[in-house]
């Protein structure tokens, strides 16, 4: 026995992100010196059969078809929410009412008002929160942030980013919860929220946006293989120009119909003394350019992730061997657990999720009005 206090986890949702969260906690417990002994207590799914299958597959001790059972379980300290975002608010508020810490997938909630209510409830309850902006947990994103903050590439002038995937590119993909306008939006809300979080993290608060949204597939089958269709009301693609409070400007795009793209979370940052270029599809590399280099060595240099870029070394002692998506979730889980131990805030807490939602809301408003819209 380690003598560390036990911390119990209750997971709601067992799909792709539910599995990623469970793996994140499991990996974190093996590679970091966590302040707690983790206990995967219970998992909730929409059916008992599904919950039981996930219990065995993901390593939990108990399973239930009623997520509310997790709230009253005295063994559970953390409620981990990986459900469709339309359900986040109800679950999070219920968790706060029972004094539970909450780890929730993005986007935080469909509206700014929902997010504000969740932030207020969390702060009143005095609990720790985390939103799943896991791409920010890459050791090389930490390095990019350090390079920017140190002034190595000078004053940041512009940002260009894109988050593009193709999981909705096939017109036969049926209408589902991601296409429900009550969930707050389409590609922008679902995956573009990652790029907004990235912009805020690296360049700073966004002052205003000018955007357009496009629906390229206006009808979807009501079920796989069905001939009946349902109208699509949310964006397949969103593009926007942005102005940062720092004076920098930029643009970003979100698309879930980018044929051939599986995980393009890319950005270019241009400063007065240099530049940074990154692509998530090669997440163990980052490219940096320094304007002052001698003409014989001028050009973008590639930096490979290694033990010198914390916390890469917690996973592997050798450079070039690479970490992946689940390791980013483990880094995210470690930050969350450290914040619980210290009674501090995470870098991507519910208040940050609220700030991201303000940009999302303004972007959609701009697309409707075809005007620049101030944030907040």
| pLDDT tens string 157-173 | 999 999 999 999 999 99
Q: Tell me: do 62 and 102 sit in the same domain.
A: yes
Domain end, chosen from 105, 132, 159, is at 132
Summarised one tens digit per residue, pLDDT across range 314-346 is 999 999 899 999 999 999 999 999 999 999 999
Q: Tell me: do 87 and 205 sit in the same domain.
A: no
pLDDT for residue 88: 98
Q: Tell me: do 226 and 246 sit in the same domain.
A: yes
pLDDT at 1 over 70: no
Calpha distance 248→271 (Å, rounded): 9
Structural domain that includes position 211: 135-374
Residue 11 near residue 71 (C-beta atoms within 8 A): no
pTM, rounded to two decimals: 0.96
Nearest alpha-carbon partner for 161 in 80, 55, 255: 255
Calpha distance 182→89 (Å, rounded): 13
Domain end, chosen from 103, 132, 161, is at 132
pLDDT for residue 376: 81
Task: Return the percentage of the chain with pLDDT > 90, whole number.
Answer: 96
- Phi–psi pair at 122, nearest 5 degrees: -65, -45
pLDDT at 296 over 90: no
pLDDT at 283 over 60: yes
pLDDT for residue 295: 76
Across 82-94, average pLDDT: 97
What's CA 114's distance to the chain center, in Å? 18
Summarised one tens digit per residue, pLDDT across range 226-259 is 999 999 999 999 999 999 999 999 999 999 999 9
pLDDT for residue 150: 98
pLDDT at 109 over 60: yes
pLDDT for residue 193: 98
Across 125-142, average pLDDT: 98
Residue 210 near residue 241 (C-beta atoms within 8 A): yes
Q: Tell me: do 182 and 328 sit in the same domain.
A: yes
Cis peptide before 107 (omega within 30 of 0): yes
Q: In this structure, what CATH number is given to the domain that contains residue 82?
A: 3.40.50.720
Calpha distance 96→144 (Å, rounded): 35
Partnered with residue 209 across adjacent β-strands are 242, 373
Number of folded domains that form the chain: 2
Q: In this structure, what CATH number is given to the domain that contains residue 220?
A: 3.30.360.10
Cβ within 8 Å of residue 148, ≥6 positions away:
156, 202, 203, 269, 271, 276
- Write the secondary structure of 191-250 as one string of H (helix), E (strand) and C (coil): HHHHHHHHHHHHCCCEEEEEEEEECCCCEEECCCCCCCEEECCCCCEEEEEEEECCCCEE
Calpha distance 271→262 (Å, rounded): 29
Q: Tell me: do 365 and 257 sit in the same domain.
A: yes
The encoded tokens of residue 163 equal 């988050």
Q: Tell me: do 81 and 194 sit in the same domain.
A: no
Cis peptide before 311 (omega within 30 of 0): yes
Q: Tell me: do 48 and 72 sit in the same domain.
A: yes
pLDDT for residue 293: 75
Domain end, chosen from 113, 132, 151, is at 132
């Amino acid at each position: 026995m380690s003598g560390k206090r036990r911390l119990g986890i209750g997971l709601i949702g067992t799909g792709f992100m539910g599995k990623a969260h469970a793996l994140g906690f499991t990996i974190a417990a093996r590679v970091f010196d966590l302040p707690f002994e983790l206990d995967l207590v219970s998992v909730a799914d929409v059916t008992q059969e599904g919950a039981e299958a996930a219990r065995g597959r993901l390593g939990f001790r108990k399973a239930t078809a009623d997520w509310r059972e997790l709230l009253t379980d005295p063994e559970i300290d953390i409620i981990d929410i990986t459900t469709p975002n339309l359900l986040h608010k109800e679950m999070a508020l219920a968790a706060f009412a029972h004094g539970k810490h909450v780890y929730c997938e993005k986007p935080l909630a469909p509206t700014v008002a929902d997010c504000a209510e969740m932030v207020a409830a969390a702060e009143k309850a005095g609990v720790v929160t985390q939103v799943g902006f896991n791409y920010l947990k890459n050791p090389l994103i930490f390095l990019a942030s350090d390079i920017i903050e140190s002034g190595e590439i000078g004053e940041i002038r512009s940002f260009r980013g894109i988050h593009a995937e193709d999981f909705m590119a096939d017109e036969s993909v049926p209408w589902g919860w991601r296409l429900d306008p009550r969930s707050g939006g389409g590609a922008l809300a679902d995956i573009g929220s990652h790029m907004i979080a990235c912009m805020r993290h690296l360049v700073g608060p966004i002052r205003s946006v000018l955007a357009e949204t496009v629906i390229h597939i206006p009808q979807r089958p009501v079920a796989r293989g069905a001939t009946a269709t349902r109208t699509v009301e949310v964006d397949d693609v969103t593009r926007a120009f942005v102005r940062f409070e720092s004076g920098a400007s930029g643009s970003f795009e979100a698309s879930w119909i980018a044929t051939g793209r599986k995980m393009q979370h890319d950005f270019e940052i241009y400063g007065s003394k240099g530049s940074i270029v990154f692509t998530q599809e090669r997440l163990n590399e980052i490219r940096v350019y320094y304007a002052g280099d001698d003409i014989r060595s001028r050009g973008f240099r590639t930096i490979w992730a290694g033990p010198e870029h914390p916390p890469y070394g917690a996973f592997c002692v050798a450079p070039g061997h690479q970490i992946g998506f689940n390791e980013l979730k483990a880094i995210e889980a470690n930050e969350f657990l450290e914040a619980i131990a210290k009674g501090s805030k995470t870098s991507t807490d519910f208040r940050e999720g609220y700030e991201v939602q303000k940009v999302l809301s303004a972007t959609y408003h701009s697309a409707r009005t075809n005007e620049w819209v101030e944030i907040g």
